[in-house]
Amino acid sequence: MWLCSGRAAILLLAFCGPAAADELSDFNAAVESASAHNRVAIGYLRTGNLDLAALEIDRLREAWDRVAQHFTTKRPAAFDSNPLYGGLWTAESARFVGIDLMIKKGKPDAVANALNGLRGDLYALRQASGIVVLADCVRDANAIMDGFMVFNDRALDWSKADVSADIAGKASAYRSTLDRCETIAGGALANHPEFRRLIDGAKASLAFIPQAIAKRDADLLHRVLIELRSFDNLLAFRFG
């Protein structure tokens, strides 16, 4: 929405524009810059490398400080009625204090939980204002995959009621979420080779789910789920 009109628009043209949209775009871009470091740190923690994770967390903290300095008192209009916005800054400041303590104590799992907590806070903030970004869609995909992995069992009892239907339902939900992520990514990003490799790879794996169900083949299902989990982790690492 343009904030300038009439004669004022002529006099103040250099200072006016679609401010509400620009404020939100600037916020999203700044948060994404910080989130990129968060993802890398979580990736290092997943492989057990606390030292490299700590270095990336330092970069995350610096990037987050820039976000806080600019947006603590400059709330984008999209968050005007959002009760989560005001408390975000103190909550994350306290979170970083806790992260430092857990690093010193050598507790990578606790550090990873705290970093995922930051992701969760941003997810909740945007959701409360009806704002959708790719990182949140990837998070939704991760949650579906978590539930899907319940069926990663070579001793799966196919005779149990609803097992086949539940597997098919999880596969359908995951594919639908990948489709939504493609739409949100849009344009150049949706066609970026890395993004396409992960999305197309996951969809190719999903194509084997009906075969696993029809044959009641737990070994095939296991292999497919391991592939899907790998693609899912890489999506989170790169875009989540």
**Digits of tens for pLDDT over the chain (240 positions)?**
333 333 333 333 333 344 555 789 999 999 999 999 999 999 899 888 999 999 999 999 999 999 999 999 899 999 999 999 999 999 999 999 999 999 999 999 999 999 999 999 999 999 999 999 999 999 999 999 999 999 999 899 999 989 999 999 999 999 999 999 999 998 888 899 999 999 999 999 999 999 999 999 999 999 999 999 999 999 998 898
139 plus 214 within the same structural domain:
yes
Measured CA to CA, the distance from residue 100 to residue 92 in angstroms comes to 12
Measured CA to CA, the distance from residue 222 to residue 227 in angstroms comes to 9
Residue 11 resides in a domain? no
Q: Give the pLDDT confidence score for residue 189 in this predicted structure.
A: 87
Q: Give the pLDDT confidence score for residue 20 in this predicted structure.
A: 54
141 plus 42 within the same structural domain:
no
Residue 10 resides in a domain? no
144 plus 123 within the same structural domain:
no
Cα angle 165, 168, 174; round to 5: 140
Residue 4 resides in a domain? no
Give the CATH number, domain containing residue 161: 1.20.120
Q: Which residue in the block uniquely carries the two structure tokens 């996951």?
A: 202
42 plus 124 within the same structural domain:
yes
Residue 92 resides in a domain? yes
User: For residue 240, how many other CB atoms are within 10 A of its CB?
Assistant: 25
pTM: 0.81
Q: Give the pLDDT confidence score for residue 21 in this predicted structure.
A: 56
Q: Work out how many domains the chain is built from and give that number.
A: 2
Contacts of 178 (CB under 8 A, 6+ apart): 141, 199, 202, 203
Q: Which domain holds residue 42?
A: 18-128
Name the residue among 171, 126, 155 with its Cα closest to residue 217: 155
Please give the C-alpha separations between residue 10 and each of 1, 4, 5, 22, 23, in angstroms, as whole numbers: 17, 9, 8, 20, 22
22 plus 80 within the same structural domain:
yes
Contact 126, 86 (CB under 8 A): no
User: For residue 154, how many other CB atoms are within 10 A of its CB?
Assistant: 8
Residue 226 resides in a domain? yes
Residue 7 resides in a domain? no
Q: Give the pLDDT confidence score for residue 172 in this predicted structure.
A: 97
Residue 1 resides in a domain? no
Measured CA to CA, the distance from residue 88 to residue 196 in angstroms comes to 33
122 plus 139 within the same structural domain:
no
Residue 229 resides in a domain? yes
How far apart, in Å, do the first and last CA atoms of the chain sit?
Answer: 29
